[in-house]
Structure 1
């Protein structure tokens, strides 16, 4: 069998495409069902393609049960030492990881754009600095973590956070490195060891992160990386009896399977899942701002779980809002995400584009009207899908109820002054990840916002995210919260030690 080189060059950046297990690069071979990884550089692999033009980027080591087990064993073995590492030292190492991200920010931005098709300018200016910030934030938060002792009838209660154990972290392809850092940073800060399983459609920056953690000085086994398909690598990871936490970001159907596997071992799970969020535009809103917020939902070609894809407009301002919105859509530049002038890049994969287009075609067949877009961008070809807006959609229709995860928005209206109907429409799906309000009256916005089922409500803004705030969804949008002390609560077992005021005398006689 022909050998596969262990490295690939993407955008001038050398990337080792093997797994990272116990401080060592590991390839796979077939068949592999043992608990010991094969350290040769032979297949099986899978090919990673760029969504920009379909170019093959790299052969990626394809993990299975053997690699999954070896990574968990490495994490389990490293756990006692890492959990016992003083918080100051853990924080220092996380700051070193952040420094490594900053030092390689240009490389990371270029590789991630090639790998998942998001805008290079966004990766440079926002995403990669945010990755470094995530590590720094949780390092600093670790050192501030604590709860004041309190008294119960003269007894002292002391609350502490004990690291739970090895954590399996499964991340999506739409913002690969940033979403990985949202999980890796708090898990490591909490004292857990981790096994990261990145999405197979965009795995490259996760491999670079492994190098960065190694260069920062993390001990072997503290950070592990297993690449591959969910059913081959992810499934044995979440079912492993030595895993103590599972954090997953992705689809609802996959989360159900993950939950079932983890439940057999009574392993707590944190899920950040899909969304079908509303943007409620009230008649007294600044309509220019409302239109800006609506167009912002095409960010990352619509591949954002938080996107407010259902625009709900108070009837008197429907036409005025729509005119402003269409003016802005007409100015969007779609094209190569490496071009600074591009506003909307490609979707991730041909299969995903077909899925997005299927939603639109079925909606039109059911009576929806295409106001703009409605299909692939034939001038660009490939994975580029036109920013789309559909009207004349029923509340119970598929296009309103199901997550498309592409540049597709719908527009509905509600009667003037009918807050009940606005809330009914906004809450009228099985999801509850986020909601956005455009409003002029602060009191009315507060009343409506308080009734919305959502983990995050933005008023006259969008995507303002502070790591000190809880992040997560209600209903089918997830379980648990990430951010601040909520992350430590998940990755730790909280312990309360109660000490009596008496009983010490005998030891001091």
Structure 2
């Protein structure tokens, strides 16, 4: 086993977690903090044999775990959530240091949500057992049977929250799991393995194999023993996963980010809309559901820009571990290059820079909140996801024009619409998205569906929708009258 890493005085293993044991590797890769680029340690790289061991362990553990009742599984999962709570500060410190997430956001939002992701779905599973449907011909018993070994691949912008968001229903449904955490931010998933061990999860029920997507991730999703694949990340990676899954006829759930509209109608409360607009810079813009394309009615555009500028100028950028910080670093130097490249090319193509557009003086991986206007609908900056603190602004004259602009990309995850509530709601209904917030942002309910359309993904997560994916739906049919087999036509 590799030497434990010490990050912010928190001890965490750099090794895989397979069949209830820590497993080392012959290859390790460097992990750097986005805060100041310091080396946090070396992480075990998942080789083919590690993936095979993890899937084999999950496969072996599946019969006993799936045979438990939902109530019995809930006992384990409630203990898992308790163990997360006991290590709340450790989770906060680790994710802040290796992913650059605000420490305040971790403690007040992410860790409580991670616990809820486990307990909520464990409770929800209790209501899914043997649902009856009575018809004239038969009694139907609809079952949600566990699907099998589930592969979960999580992104670097919210590894703990999104990891538990998928893990909760997968385990509650009776599946066993192999997680491939993001190579740029793997530490909280490693700590989650310690929680699973302390909670007494049977060996093989949860396995974690670290590594790169192109190698470790590809090997995992290609394994023919995998029954479900749940992935959050980029479109190109999802397309590769879908090809492999298609060859094996494995159902996939894909959440792929967006280029969501933020519509400000003429009857909107300008200051409230601008205050919400500034939230799109949260997590340094590394938020898939952020409304990054501002579509503002021309009659209020000038006033809105000034209001928005005031909020953007007031954002405090710095060390995410400091309580007054509102925007932290971008995750990796490669992502900084991606963000700055988008902005530089947009300006070269004629976009007007309203504010930002450069590295922030706080550090190498900090980028100033940016707003660009004078952009065409078919431009790269409007059509493609930047995944950084970069917004665009376009104006419109009519609702029809706003809707056309809003729907005019290959993405369809979310959106925001500000205006008179009735007016904004009617416009929102016309959006080609998985969801859209009216005069609000970020409201989430674990019983509600979450997901996108077009290039923003396939499938829905949350409530019954999660279990429809992580389960095999079976109909047990019991006839009301004696059944006589016959090939005759009636």
- TM-score normalised to the size of structure 1? 0.94
Are 1:428 and 2:434 counterparts? no
Q: CA deviation at 1:152?
A: 2.5
Judge conservation of contact 2:373–2:392 (CA < 8 Å) in 1: yes
C-alpha distance in structure 1 between counterparts of 2:136 and 2:374, whole Å: 65
Where structure 1 has 5 or more consecutive residues not aligned to the other structure, the ranges are 30-43, 505-509
Number of the residue aligned with 2:157 = 174
Map of 1:383 onto structure 2: 365
- How far apart are the structure 2 equivalents of 1:374 and 1:150? 59
Instruction: Give unmatched runs, 5+ long, in structure 2.
Output: 484-490
The equivalent of 1:35 in structure 2 is: none
* Structure 1 runs of 4+ with >4 Å offset: none
**From 54, 70, 74, the counterpart of 2:57:** 74
Which residue of structure 1 aligns with residue 21 of structure 2? 24
Deviation string 1:15-48 (CA, Å, 9 cap, x unpaired) is: 011000011100112xxxxxxxxxxxxxx10011
Tell me, in whole angstroms, the C-alpha distance in 2 between the residues paired with 1:147 and 1:449: 37
Change (3 A) 1:313 1:207: same
Q: Which residue of 1 aligns with 2:480?
A: 501
Q: Secondary structure at the match of 1:244?
A: strand
Aligned residue pairs, count: 483
Instruction: Report deviation, 1:426.
Output: 0.4
The aligned residue for residue 274 of structure 2 is 291
Match of 1:332 in 2: 315
Give the corresponding residue for 2:467: 488
User: Does the alignment pair 1:453 with 2:432?
Assistant: yes
Q: 2:133 aligns with which of 150, 153, 156?
A: 150
Task: Single out whichever of 86-95 and 146-155 deviates more from structure 2.
Answer: 146-155
Matches of 2:99 and 2:131, distance apart in 1: 45
Q: What residue is the counterpart of 2:458 in the other structure?
A: 479
| 1:397-444 deviations in Å (ceiling 9; x for gaps) | 0000000000000000001xx11100000001000000100111x332
Q: 1:134 aligns with which of 106, 114, 117?
A: 117
Q: Secondary structure at the match of 2:31?
A: strand
1:104-503 maps to which residues of 2 (within 5 A)?
104-146=87-129, 148-377=131-360, 379-415=361-397, 418-440=398-420, 442-502=421-481
How far apart are the structure 2 equivalents of 1:414 and 1:481? 32
Alignment partners' CA distance in 2, 1:502 and 1:413: 66
How far did residue 148 of structure 1 move? 4.3
Cα distance in 2 for partners of 1:231, 1:256 equals 13
Q: CA separation in 1, counterparts of 2:14 and 2:347? A: 43
Tell whether the 8 Å contact from 2:133 to 2:142 is kept in structure 1 after alignment.
Answer: no
Aligned counterpart, 2:488: none
Counterparts of 1:439 and 1:394 in 2: how far apart (Å)? 24
Tell me the SS of whatever aligns to 1:451.
coil
